[in-house]
Amino acid sequence: MPPLPSELAYVPFVSVEHMMALVHHIGIETVLIDLAAEIEADFKRWDLFDKTPRVASHSDVGVIELMPTSDGEMYGFKYVNGHPKNTKEGLQTVTAFGLLAEVNSGYPKLLSEMTVLTALRTAATSAMVAKHLAPKGATTMAMIGNGAQSEFQCLAFKAICGIDTVRLFDVDSAATRKCARNLQGSGLTVVPCKTGEESMEGAQIITTCTADKQYATILTDNMIGEGVHINAIGGDCPGKTELHRDILLRSNIFVEYPEQTWVEGEIQQLEKDHPITEIWQVITGQTEGRRTDKEITLFDSVGFAIEDFSALRYISKAIVGTEFFTQLDMLADPDDPRDLFGMLQRSAS
Ligand code: NAD
């Protein structure tokens, strides 16, 4: 019998099933609030992080991306895809998993599913940013695109920004029915709408979260009144945007990491000298966010590695003392660290 690997050689693994159980155990709104706090805290120590635009491998039908970062103590990365055609084949548009490692040894400390976690962290980031930018006292959000991310977005805006009403629109009415059904009992007033224009009636916050591999025009300039906050989630790849350029020209634009957003975000439609603000500077108080009641604020979200890092670190703490993970034998652990071959040889007997 080959020697069993020591505890150190095991890596905690959070499966989709365990992630779901953990979220239910903690409560989804608490998870969203906690994640928003973790992400906000990490955005406050922005300078500490090793940052790079994500590494993207594009094809005609989608993209596969790696998103690494480190704060000097821990290193994390996420593998994520984006394939808008997938839902027609019964597959998710976005799936992900991620890993957190210790910088000191380089040893992985957590491997986790991140499809559910990405929906949670994206929603938490959106709502955390809106807390800084949206008009005070906002109660109603238009939610355009009622796919996999949508309920998470609605619940995060309820828990973090105090939204009490969501107005849903999707080109596929089945998606809107699904979203409305899933939000029953959430405490939100849910209003299914037949057009994008209708969804925007009375909304102080507008979230666009659609999936289409093209320069789409989910919002046109005439649809946007003064003073609203736009949370644009779905434009996150070269050649994949949601807003008409004229809206960008009227908005005060906030981004995560400019080097990545210029390539992937709504702002790929603008000249490179157009003024934009990094949201971490608003969060730390170095720059003003919303300045007037009348201005349009736009969070041009593409999703940045630090948000995933914060989410993985949160999960690594949350599973301690629980049964919501398994130990994965994914690190070789020979008795003599230099005798890897001997370990292999002994395993034959
Ligand atoms: P999904 O495929 O499950 O849902 C997308 C929905 O958009 C579908 O219901 C579709 O019918 C609808 N839609 C498409 N075109 C539309 C239009 N013109 N008007 C209204 N609705 C329309 O995808 P998802 O997982 O919910 O992701 C949505 C988008 O968010 C994707 O583009 C994804 O890449 C992006 N995303 C961004 C981040 C981020 O951090 N910014 C994170 C996750 C996902």
Which domains does the chain carry? Answer: 7-116+306-340 (3.30.1780.10), 131-304 (3.40.50.720)
CA of 211 to the centre of ligand 1 (A): 3
Is residue 166 predicted with pLDDT exceeding 60?
yes
Mean pLDDT of 117-133: 98
Share in percent of the chain as helix, strand, coil (round to 5): 40, 25, 35
Q: How far is the CA of 344 from the centre of ligand 1 (A)?
A: 47
Q: CA distances (Å), 21 to each of 122, 243, 283, 310, 321, in order?
A: 20, 37, 32, 20, 14
> How much is the mean pLDDT over the chain?
95
**Residue of 93, 231, 260 best suited for mutating to test ligand 1, as the one with most atoms within 8 Å of CB:** 93
- What would the pLDDT profile of 29-72 be if each residue is shown by its tens digit? 999 999 999 999 999 999 999 999 999 999 999 999 999 999 99
Percent of the chain predicted with pLDDT > 90: 95
Of 337, 333, 334, 239, the closest CA to residue 8 belongs to: 333
Q: At 4, is the pLDDT very low, low, confident or very high (cuts 50, 70, 90)?
A: very low
Residue 300 contacts by C-beta under 8 Å, 6 or more apart in sequence?
A: 232, 235, 253, 254, 255, 261, 265, 266, 267, 276
pLDDT at 2 over 50: no
Query: To 5 degrees, how large is the angle CA 290–CA 296–CA 300?
Result: 90
- As given in the structure block, the two tokens for residue 40 are 């906000």
Average pLDDT of the segment spanning 86-99: 95
- pLDDT confidence of 300, banded at 50, 70, 90? very high
pLDDT tops 60 at residue 82: yes
Q: Determine which of 51-55, 117-121, 213-217 has the lowest per-residue pLDDT on average.
A: 213-217
* Catalytic site positions: 236
Could you tell me the two tokens for 149?
């991310």
Question: Which pLDDT score is estimated for 287?
Answer: 97
